[in-house]
Amino acid sequence: MNSRKSIVLIGMPGAGKSTVGILLAKELALDFVDTDVLIQAREGKTLQQIMNESDYLNLRRIEGEVIAAADLPGHVIATGGSAVYSEEGMANLGRFGPIVFLDCSAAELRRRIHNYESRGIAKAPGQSFASLFEERQALYRKYADITIECDGRSLQQVLEAILRELEAI
């Protein structure tokens, strides 16, 4: 793969974007960045603090600005789960390389996420996990160049599946 190319990981919170992203970056000798960390560094606050002080739409707006302005060639980029709400941001990230959707079922995500209410997930007040999951699935599929099924797979198996798919493009 071209060393200036990036790989963008999208998916729900708990899908493993950051964890798999670090492993993928090591495997491909690329830098790693988590866009949630870029947001927190810019704002000087956690994602949950941003939402507590304003609302989920403000967090999505900030996330959109951060990913729209990002210049990240040669990176594995783990995005926040709500990055797909920013068409401009996703278009920018797509310039750097393929977008990989880490697809986990709602049941698997529920098993992995125990702090849904306090995790800093950009969702409408009172929005259920099931509703958020359904809303985002269509957006993830819209932007994905590659979709990796994650249910029942170890981190190593997910990593190997991504590498196989990247070789094919």
Distance CA 57, CA 42 (A): 17
DSSP annotation of 119 reads S
pLDDT at residue 74 above 70?
yes
- Span 116-165, pLDDT tens digits: 555 557 778 888 888 999 999 999 999 999 999 999 999 999 999 999 99
Distance CA 146, CA 132 (A): 22
DSSP annotation of 80 reads P
For position 69, what pLDDT does the model report? 96
Distance CA 6, CA 157 (A): 21
Q: Find the mean pLDDT for residues 67-86.
A: 96
Distance CA 60, CA 83 (A): 7
- Span 80-113, pLDDT tens digits: 999 999 999 999 999 999 999 999 999 999 888 7
What are the structural domains of the chain?
Answer: 7-164 (3.40.50.300)
- Span 18-49, pLDDT tens digits: 999 999 999 999 999 999 999 999 999 998 89
**Which tokens in the block code for residue 133?**
């999951």
Task: Quote the pTM value.
Answer: 0.94
Helix (H) or strand (E) holding 33: strand 31-34
Reduced to 3 states (helix: H, G, I; strand: E, B; else coil), residue 153 is: coil
DSSP annotation of 139 reads H
